[in-house]
């Protein structure tokens, strides 16, 4: 059976979708408008799936059955679980409690049926045990989902990068695993980026750039402190049905998010009654009308399921007419799963920030010239996206190289793991960036203009670009190759950063390199050569000042020619 289009769509094609029919969604994310509602789908390739959990429950319960005891409490529980699968007469005839369930002819079929009955399955009790015995003791869920050896996947890394960039500040999550937290820690080090709220009192803690609300509990917290957090692991049908009534603090808090922020659901089917109840309660308080701008609801799916259609019917009920319904559902469906969608959103946000910086630096730039620089940035983004796979390895390399380039730009050094390997263009969403009083002198505006010029040169075939060698600290921010050969490119936001590129050993006098300074060139500093000259007859380290280039005019065609002359490629 072929994979669904949402699973096979490329990052490049997803970007086309964000540039086109889903542009309002992408702009909304870039401005931190959306609450990211996270479900198990974003951890599907890291955590056991529901079919495996169902199989484990069947096998573990059967292993505890005392064959000679017809009143065995485990037999009673196993019988109740099997009954949820409504086996046919033929299937029932093959069920033998004296045999391990994996020897039953219909074992796989029964386990598959339990997927849509997982909450009812976990609601089955064992006489003499706590109500969550199947979850806590049979599945050992806290240990499984908090396993320290499990690394974040591409989705978690992209969410972390968006959060660090200030574009994903609100993340309600139904997931127990700590993979979003680990992803942010791996990128930001010990920086106080993330607030995690599990217990009701956690919402009193100070807000941070990113706020994760684990409204179904946290496996790591439950494992480390079962007395406090075991009760917060939500899985049983009775817990889900009574969740809103039993959570007088968190339920209104999440309802407020639904009322005040558009919703982007990632890997979340919205089938649980407590989630449906939250959205229905929010609609009763202050309904989103359709259409809204940006769209109030978006689902990262291959097709809308019944639960998502039901949610739209509830929240848009004032406008949910036969005429509007097809348009409403088409608008809400984002036909890309979380892996390609989040990676494309990250690339879109980064590019949108650079475009904003161009405009901030050159507010009077002619529209045609601004469009050329913006097009150059988009071309560079698309160049990066070509062939980019949304895997943990590829995303980790991309974010590491981005962080390295930004650290060299600002500090003339390499990132320190304790401070994080990823450095944002800005910690603010786009619409808040102009309020940053340090922006004008930070050098990032000139970096954005230089990036646009490089992208424009790529589009016109003036040079080609390759990523640097992640294992080579001296490989620069990128490698550009033109008629005169390849050169390593460095960016320096200040004289201090430029000088430190040399003193930290990241560049030498006889490197075949280009240093693009945001401001004026610093005085020449002695550097120790590391290798014989790469070319003769040409100064190997060329230094370009964007400030000086802009002082001579900002008309883009002329600016590109003067830039090209300086970099000598």
CA nearest to 266, candidates 560, 470, 25: 25
- DSSP helix/strand/coil, 105: coil
Q: What is the pLDDT of residue 523?
A: 67
504 to each of 409, 500, 520, how far by Cα in Å? 13, 6, 20
Say whether both 215 and 314 belong to one domain: yes
Question: Is 6 among the domain residues?
Answer: no
Please state, in angstroms and rounded to a whole number, the distance separating the CA atoms of residues 63 and 57. 10
* Cβ-contact 374, 452 below 8 angstroms: yes
Q: In this model, does residue 539 exceed pLDDT 60? A: no
Task: Convert the pLDDT of each residue in 35-62 to its tens digit.
Answer: 999 999 999 999 998 999 999 999 999 9
Return the top range by mean pLDDT from 228-232, 268-272, 313-317. Answer: 228-232
- DSSP helix/strand/coil, 286: coil
Segment holding 212, helix H or strand E: strand 210-214
- DSSP helix/strand/coil, 78: helix
Number of Cβ within 10 Å of residue 293's Cβ equals: 9
More confident residue, 534 or 233: 233
And the tokens for 377? 């940035």
Those residues whose C-beta lies under 8 Å from the C-beta of residue 384, and which sit 6 or more positions away, are 347, 398
Scanning the structure block, which residue is given the tokens 């003499």? 128
Instruction: Give the long-range contacts of residues 324-331, CB within 8 A, separation 24 or more.
Output: 324/290, 328/290, 329/304, 331/291, 331/295, 331/298
* Cβ-contact 522, 547 below 8 angstroms: no
Please state, in angstroms and rounded to a whole number, the distance separating the CA atoms of residues 211 and 130. 32
Say whether both 381 and 331 belong to one domain: no
Q: What is the pLDDT of residue 513?
A: 92
Segment holding 289, helix H or strand E: none
Say whether both 138 and 250 belong to one domain: no
Q: In this model, does residue 533 exceed pLDDT 60? A: no
And the tokens for 172? 């309600």
Q: What's phi and psi for 115, nearest 5 deg?
A: -60, -45
Please state, in angstroms and rounded to a whole number, the distance separating the CA atoms of residues 10 and 13. 5
Q: What is the pLDDT of residue 11?
A: 98
Question: Is 498 among the domain residues?
Answer: yes
Question: Is 12 among the domain residues?
Answer: no
Domain termination site, one of 121, 145, 169: 145
CA atoms within 13 A on the CB side of 388: 30
Sorting pLDDT into bands at 50, 70 and 90, what band is 488? Answer: very high
Q: In this model, does residue 247 exceed pLDDT 80? A: yes
Mean pLDDT of the chain: 94
Question: Is 528 among the domain residues?
Answer: yes
Residue 212's domain comprises 31-43+150-336
Q: Residue ranges of the alpha helices (H) in 88-201?
A: 89-93, 107-115, 118-122, 133, 141-145, 154-164, 179-188
Across 405-507, where does the E strand assignment appear?
464-466, 478-482, 485-492
Domain termination site, one of 320, 336, 352: 336
Q: What is the pLDDT of residue 534?
A: 47
Say whether both 548 and 490 belong to one domain: yes
* Cβ-contact 169, 211 below 8 angstroms: yes
Furthest CA-CA distance within the chain: 94
Question: Is 239 among the domain residues?
Answer: yes
Q: Could you tell me which residues are beta bridge partners of residue 513?
A: 488, 541
- Based on its alpha-carbon atoms, the radius of gyration of the chain, rounded to whole angstroms, reads 28
Task: Convert the pLDDT of each residue in 173-218 to its tens digit.
Answer: 999 999 999 999 999 999 999 999 999 999 999 999 999 999 999 9
Say whether both 274 and 369 belong to one domain: no
Say whether both 353 and 321 belong to one domain: no
Scanning the structure block, which residue is given the tokens 């808090």? 253
CA atoms within 13 A on the CB side of 237: 11
Give me the count of residues in the chain: 569
Q: What is the pLDDT of residue 147?
A: 97
Q: What is the pLDDT of residue 529?
A: 52
Q: In this model, does residue 535 exceed pLDDT 50? A: no
* Cβ-contact 314, 280 below 8 angstroms: yes
With a pLDDT cut of 70, the percent of the chain lying above it is 96
Question: Is 240 among the domain residues?
Answer: yes
Pairing of strands 485-492, 478-482: antiparallel
Burial class (CB in 10 A: 0-12, 13-18, 19+), 190: exposed
Please state, in angstroms and rounded to a whole number, the distance separating the CA atoms of residues 304 and 297. 12
Task: Convert the pLDDT of each residue in 115-126 to its tens digit.
Answer: 989 999 999 999
Say whether both 208 and 351 belong to one domain: no
And the tokens for 423? 């450095």
Please state, in angstroms and rounded to a whole number, the distance separating the CA atoms of residues 113 and 306. 17
Task: Convert the pLDDT of each residue in 88-115 to its tens digit.
Answer: 999 999 999 999 999 999 999 999 999 9
Say whether both 213 and 328 belong to one domain: yes
Please state, in angstroms and rounded to a whole number, the distance separating the CA atoms of residues 331 and 320. 13
Q: What is the pLDDT of residue 536?
A: 42
Q: In this model, does residue 508 exceed pLDDT 90? A: no
Average the pLDDT over 456-461 and give the result.
97
Please state, in angstroms and rounded to a whole number, the distance separating the CA atoms of residues 287 and 50. 34
Please state, in angstroms and rounded to a whole number, the distance separating the CA atoms of residues 143 and 220. 8
Q: What is the number of structural domains in the chain?
A: 3
Domain termination site, one of 115, 145, 175: 145
Question: Is 9 among the domain residues?
Answer: no
And the tokens for 199? 């217990």
Q: What is the pLDDT of residue 459?
A: 97
User: Which of these ranges, 177-186, 252-261, 309-318, has the smallest mean pLDDT?
Assistant: 309-318
Say whether both 359 and 271 belong to one domain: no
Distance, C-alpha 502 to centroid of its chain: 35
Q: Could you tell me which residues are beta bridge partners of residue 297?
A: 263
Please state, in angstroms and rounded to a whole number, the distance separating the CA atoms of residues 61 and 42. 29
Those residues whose C-beta lies under 8 Å from the C-beta of residue 124, and which sit 6 or more positions away, are 77, 80, 81, 84, 134
Q: What is the pLDDT of residue 261?
A: 97
Number of Cβ within 10 Å of residue 184's Cβ equals: 27
Sorting pLDDT into bands at 50, 70 and 90, what band is 481? Answer: very high
Question: Is 3 among the domain residues?
Answer: no
Say whether both 375 and 485 belong to one domain: yes
CA nearest to 153, candidates 337, 383, 347: 337
* Cβ-contact 203, 253 below 8 angstroms: yes
Please state, in angstroms and rounded to a whole number, the distance separating the CA atoms of residues 505 and 412. 10
Say whether both 156 and 90 belong to one domain: no
Q: Is the dihedral of CA 213, 216, 219, 225 positive or negative?
A: positive
Say whether both 413 and 475 belong to one domain: yes
With a pLDDT cut of 90, the percent of the chain lying above it is 89
Burial class (CB in 10 A: 0-12, 13-18, 19+), 472: exposed
Q: What is the pLDDT of residue 537?
A: 43
DSSP state of 488: E
Please state, in angstroms and rounded to a whole number, the distance separating the CA atoms of residues 284 and 304. 23
Please state, in angstroms and rounded to a whole number, the distance separating the CA atoms of residues 3 and 338. 15
| Domain at 327, CATH number | 3.40.50
């Amino acid at each position: 059976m072929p994979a669904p289009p949402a699973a096979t769509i490329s990052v490049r094609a997803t970007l086309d979708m964000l540039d086109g029919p889903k542009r309002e969604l992408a702009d909304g994310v870039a401005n931190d408008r959306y609450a990211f509602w996270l479900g198990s789908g974003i951890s599907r390739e890291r955590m056991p799936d529901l079919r495996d959990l169902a199989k484990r429950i069947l096998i573990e319960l059967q292993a505890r059955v005392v064959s000679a005891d017809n009143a065995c409490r485990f037999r009673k529980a196993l019988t109740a679980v099997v009954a949820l699968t409504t086996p046919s007469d033929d299937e029932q005839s093959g069920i033998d409690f004296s045999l391990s369930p994996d020897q039953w002819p219909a074992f796989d079929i029964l386990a598959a049926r339990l997927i849509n009955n997982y909450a009812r399955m976990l609601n089955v009790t064992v006489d003499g045990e706590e109500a969550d015995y199947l979850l806590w003791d049979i599945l050992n869920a806290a240990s499984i989902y908090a396993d320290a050896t499990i690394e974040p996947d591409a989705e978690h890394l992209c969410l972390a990068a968006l959060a660090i960039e200030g574009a994903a500040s609100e993340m309600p999550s139904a997931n127990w695993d700590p993979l979003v937290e680990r992803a942010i820690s791996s990128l930001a080090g010990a920086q106080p980026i993330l607030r995690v709220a599990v217990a009701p009192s956690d919402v009193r803690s100070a807000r941070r750039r990113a706020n994760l609300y684990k409204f179904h509990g946290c496996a790591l917290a439950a494992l480390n402190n079962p007395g406090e957090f075991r009760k917060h692991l939500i899985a049983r049908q009775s817990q889900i049905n009574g969740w809103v009534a039993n959570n007088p603090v968190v339920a209104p808090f999440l309802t407020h998010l639904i009322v005040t922020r558009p919703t982007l659901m990632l890997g979340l089917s919205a089938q649980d009654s407590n989630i449906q109840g939250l959205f229905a309660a929010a609609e009763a308080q202050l309904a989103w009308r359709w259409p809204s701008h940006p769209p109030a609801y978006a689902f990262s799916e291959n097709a809308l399921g019944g639960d998502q259609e039901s949610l739209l019917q509830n929240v848009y009920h004032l406008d949910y007419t036969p005429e509007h319904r097809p348009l409403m559902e088409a608008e809400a469906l984002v036909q890309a799963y979380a892996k390609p969608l989040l990676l494309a959103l990250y690339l879109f946000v980064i590019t949108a920030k650079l475009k904003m910086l161009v405009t901030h630096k050159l507010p009077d730039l002619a529209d045609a010239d601004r469009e050329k620089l913006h097009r150059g940035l988009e071309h560079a983004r698309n160049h990066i996206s070509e062939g980019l796979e949304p895997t943990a390895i590829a995303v980790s390399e991309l974010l590491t190289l981005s962080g390295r380039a930004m650290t060299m730009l600002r500090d003339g050094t390499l990132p320190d793991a304790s401070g994080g390997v990823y450095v944002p263009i800005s910690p603010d969403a786009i619409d808040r960036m102009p309020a940053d009083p340090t922006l004008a002198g930070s050098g990032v505006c000139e970096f954005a203009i230089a990036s646009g010029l490089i992208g424009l040169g790529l589009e016109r075939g003036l040079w080609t670009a390759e990523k640097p060698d992640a294992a080579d600290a001296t490989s620069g921010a990128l490698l550009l190759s033109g008629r005169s050969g390849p050169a390593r490119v460095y960016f320096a936001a200040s004289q201090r950063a430029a000088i430190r590129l040399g003193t930290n050993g990241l560049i030498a006098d006889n490197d075949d390199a280009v240093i693009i300074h945001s401001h004026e060139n610093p005085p020449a500093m002695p550097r120790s050569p590391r290798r014989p000259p790469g070319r003769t007859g040409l100064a190997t380290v060329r230094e370009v000042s964007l400030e000086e280039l802009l002082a001579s005019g900002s008309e883009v065609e002329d600016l590109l020619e003067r830039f090209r002359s300086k970099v000598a490629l």
